[in-house]
Amino acid sequence: MQHGRLLRKLLLLTLGMFAFAFALVPLYDVFCDVTGLNGKPSMKVAEQSEAIIDSRQVEVSFTTHSQGHAPFKVDAAQHFVSVQPGKLTDVKFIAKNISDSDRILQAIPSVSPGKAAKYLHKMACFCFDQQPMKGKEEVEFVLRFYVDTELPDDVEELTLSYTLFDITERVSQTQNVQLGQLVALKEF
């Protein structure tokens, strides 16, 4: 009987499917990237646009909300701006840690409609980094972005939404760093 050979093949298939479960993680990101299904914009610094389309105006609005009990209040100075595709625009955000203790903020951007996500390019964003904030501290962030000239014509307005996470515990757990150090580091 060649039970052994068939057994080995089936075990290999099992291991392969276990690996496939983990391969689904990058596959999911790639799939969403290509199709723009889940509105996740890039978290990398974009290159500057080479062209500007003067004849078109796109309305970009900004919203923020805290996830769970994250003690942050972040508001855009302008709730919406009208921009020409390709043109760099700066928008100020006022962020405040409303708790008394030192916390670390992580903002996660999301774009609606989802298919517009890959056409919104950020050259500077507070969401690129973890933002340690002292208790009651107020900070001003600048978002520098432009809308891609290739943005599909049927998209006339889009919304950039930030979800604010309190990642203080997660950071101190995984990196074993004292929060005070992080805040101090930032002040240098």
Partner 1 sequence: MSAIVEEHSNHGTPKGLQRWLFTTNHKDIGTLYLLFSLTMFLIGGAMAMVIRAELFQPGLQLVDPHFFNQMTTVHGLIMVFGAVMPAFTGLANWMIPMMIGAPDMALPRMNNWSFWILPFAFAILLMSLFLEGGGPAFGWTFYAPLSTTYSNDNTAFFVFSVHIMGISSIMGAINVIVTIVNLRAPGMTWMKLPLFVWTWLITAFLLIAVMPVLAGAVTMVLTDKFFGTSFFDAAGGGDPVMFQHIFWFFGHPEVYIMILPAFGIISTIVPTFSRKKLFGYASMVYATASIALLSFVVWAHHMFTTGMPLAGELFFMYATMLISVPTGVKVFNWVATMWRGAISFEVPMLFSIAFIVLFTIGGFSGLMLAITPADFQYHDTYFVVAHFHYVLVTGAVFSIMAAAYYWLPKWTGNMFDIKLAKLHFWLSLVSVNVLFFPMHFVGLAGMPRRIPDYALQFADFNAIISIGGFAFGLSQLLFVAVVYKCAKGGEQVPGKVWDGAEGLEWEVPSPAPYHTFSTPPEVK
Of residues 86 and 131, the one with the C-beta less far from partner 1: 131
Of residues 83 and 125, the one with the C-beta less far from partner 1: 125
Cβ 117 to partner 1 shortest distance, Å: 12
Of residues 23 and 142, the one with the C-beta less far from partner 1: 23
Cβ 15 to partner 1 shortest distance, Å: 7
Q: How far apart are the C-alpha atoms of 168 and 151, rounded to whole Å?
A: 37
Strands 138-147 and 89-97: antiparallel
Cβ 21 to partner 1 shortest distance, Å: 2
Of residues 55 and 176, the one with the C-beta less far from partner 1: 176
> CA separation (Å) from 41 to 45, 75, 125?
11, 20, 12
Contact 140, 119 (CB under 8 A): no
| 36, two tokens | 């723009």
User: What is the binding site for partner 1 (CB under 8 A)?
Assistant: 1-3, 6-7, 10-11, 13-18, 20-22, 24-25, 28, 35, 37-38, 40, 43, 67, 106, 108, 114-115, 163, 165, 167, 170, 173-174
Cβ 36 to partner 1 shortest distance, Å: 9
The residues, any chain, with a CB within 8 Å of residue 71's CB and separated by 6 or more, are 97, 98, 99, 103, 166
